[in-house]
Amino acid sequence: HHQNKRYLSSGINAEYGGVSLSEAEASIAAPFTSANPSISCMKEILRQGRAALVTASVTFRFMAMYSMIQFITQLLLYSIGTNMSDSQFLFIDMFVISGIAVTLGNSHPAKILAPCTPNAQLIDLKVLILLTCHVAMTFAFQFSVYVYIRAQPFWSPPDHGEDYKEKPCYENTALFIISVFQYLLYGMVLSVGAPHRMPLWKNWSLMIVFVVCTILTVLFVFQPFHFIPRIMNLLSLETFDVKITFILMMALNLVLAYLLEMLFDCKSVTRRLQEVRIANKSRPKYATLQSEWNNLYSNFNVKNFYS
């Protein structure tokens, strides 16, 4: 009973909005107005609001990962004096990133209102640790692909001519393919569904983007048509074993990224991070005054006062 009372008190103190049940009595204190004079509208407000919070967090994390993936790719390519071609940048920005960014927020709220609440902060301890782990995993896979392709017998050094940035090389081909797949897999992994939004597969527009871009990425690996390497400025990966190895590495990256998300969604990990955040967070003034008043009242002795 005392625990429920404490949760209710903290929830009331933390809220600053309300719903006006009459259109004639809307005020600044009630940013929402309901045409139906019933508090049943609160369920819809909570559903939509929690879904909006999750969508904002998902979009922020995806754009942060997009920046870091491209930064790592460019860092490795600059180390050998080369770069991605204009067609590769165009494919990534126009088709992959724009498609995911536009459709990522099309997921509808969950039909059932979950008892838990989403994180209301874009940047906190959990998000920073999770992004750091994803960035480290991204670098590990891209660097592994970079080393693997250079160890193949068909590998040849990049041709650094006057227009070397436009000439294809094996490092460029390998890093472009793995980076495109990483954009897709993090769009899948970070597109949080339950408990506040509908599942990923019910966002049809986002699923179409994933399916189309994944098929194109597989075509970049196997290159069954001759116009693909010419348009995308790619080289052939030569052997079938190398192509299968690329597909397996992409699948492994997807599985590990998903398991990492599941690990941080674990209740024990989330509860521990919340405890650390609350311990480091300054208390509001009303909470400090209330605590001091309770301590003063508990130590006050009426008999000693009158004596």
- Give pLDDT, residue 293: 62
Q: In angstroms, what CA-CA distances link 122 with 55, 110, 116, 142?
A: 11, 21, 17, 27
Q: Within 10 Å of residue 99's Cβ, how many Cβ atoms?
A: 20
DSSP conformational letter for 202: G
Residues 6+ apart with CB under 8 A from 117: 50
Residues 210, 99 contacting (CB under 8 angstroms): no
Contact 138, 69 (CB under 8 A): yes
Q: In the prediction, which pLDDT does 159 show?
A: 73
pLDDT of residue 307: 52
Axis-axis angle for helices 125-150, 170-190 (nearest 10)? 150
> How far, in Å, are 63, 179, 230, 264, 284 from residue 93 at the CA level?
12, 12, 19, 29, 44
Nearest by Cα to 61 from 175, 143, 183, 200: 183
Average pLDDT (102-118) is 82
Comparing CA positions, the residue from 286, 273, 257, 256 lying closest to residue 119 is: 273
More confident of the two residues 120 and 173 = 173
For range 53-78, the mean pLDDT:
91
**Whole-model pTM above 0.75?**
yes
Greatest Cα pair distance in the chain:
101
Query: Given this model, what pLDDT does residue 282 score?
Result: 53
Q: What is the DSSP letter of 166?
A: G
Query: What's 29's DSSP letter?
Result: T
Q: Which pLDDT does position 8 carry in this prediction?
A: 39
Q: What mean pLDDT value characterizes the chain?
A: 79
- Tokens representing 305 are 């006062």
Q: How far apart are CA 207 and CA 192, in angstroms?
A: 14
Among 26-40, 98-112, 257-271, the range of highest mean pLDDT: 98-112
For residue 23, name the pLDDT band (cuts at 50, 70, 90): low
pLDDT reported for residue 301: 54
Q: Could you tell me what percent of the chain has a pLDDT over 70?
A: 73
Q: What pLDDT sits at residue 220?
A: 92
In angstroms, the Cα distances linking 256 to 26, 133, 140, 193, 253 are 50, 11, 12, 19, 5
What digits encode the pLDDT tens for the residues 245-298?
Answer: 999 999 999 999 999 988 877 554 455 545 545 555 555 565 666 666 666 656
- CA torsion sign for 42, 7, 54, 110 is negative
- Among the ranges given (86-90, 112-116, 235-239), the one the predictor scored with the smallest mean pLDDT: 112-116
Taken in order 191, 192, 193, 198, the sign of the CA dihedral is: negative
Residue 9 pLDDT grade (very low, low, confident, very high; cuts 50, 70, 90): very low
Residues with Cβ within 8 Å of 215's Cβ and at least 6 positions away in sequence, in order, are none
Radius of gyration of the chain (CA): 27
Contact assessment for residue 135 and residue 65, using Cβ atoms and an 8 Å cutoff: yes
Instruction: Calculate mean pLDDT across residues 202-226.
Output: 90
Residue 159 burial class via C-beta count within 10 angstroms: exposed 0-12, middle 13-18, buried 19 and up: exposed
Q: Is the pLDDT of residue 11 over 50?
A: no
- The pLDDT assigned to 191 comes to 82
For residue 138 the two structure tokens come to 């991204």
